[in-house]
């Protein structure tokens, strides 16, 4: 992971530092989004099955 500054010490570094600088952040966001969609689909299928079983 690359740092957004060239200093070799923490002296003089102030303010917020973005930890995701230079990483494959887009890949992790896409993977997280895919997992959320999978969780919603499987939850919807489970609820549909549970409601059908309740009606019987």
Q: Provide DSSP, 2-38.
A: --SS--SSSTT--S---TTTTS-HHHHHHHHHHHHHH
What's the mean pLDDT in 43-48? 94
For 11-29, the pLDDT digits (tens) are 777 777 766 666 677 888 8
Question: Do the beta carbons of residue 23 and residue 40 sit within 8 Å?
Answer: no
pTM of the model: 0.55
pLDDT for position 37:
98
Residue 48 reports pLDDT greater than 80: yes
Confidence of residue 9 (pLDDT cuts 50, 70, 90): confident
């Amino acid at each position: 992971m690359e740092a957004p500054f060239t200093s070799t010490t923490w002296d003089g570094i102030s303010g917020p530092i973005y930890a995701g600088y230079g990483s494959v952040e887009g890949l992790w966001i896409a993977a997280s989004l895919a997992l959320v969609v999978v969780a919603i689909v499987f939850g919807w299928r489970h609820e549909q099955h549970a409601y059908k079983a309740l009606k019987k």
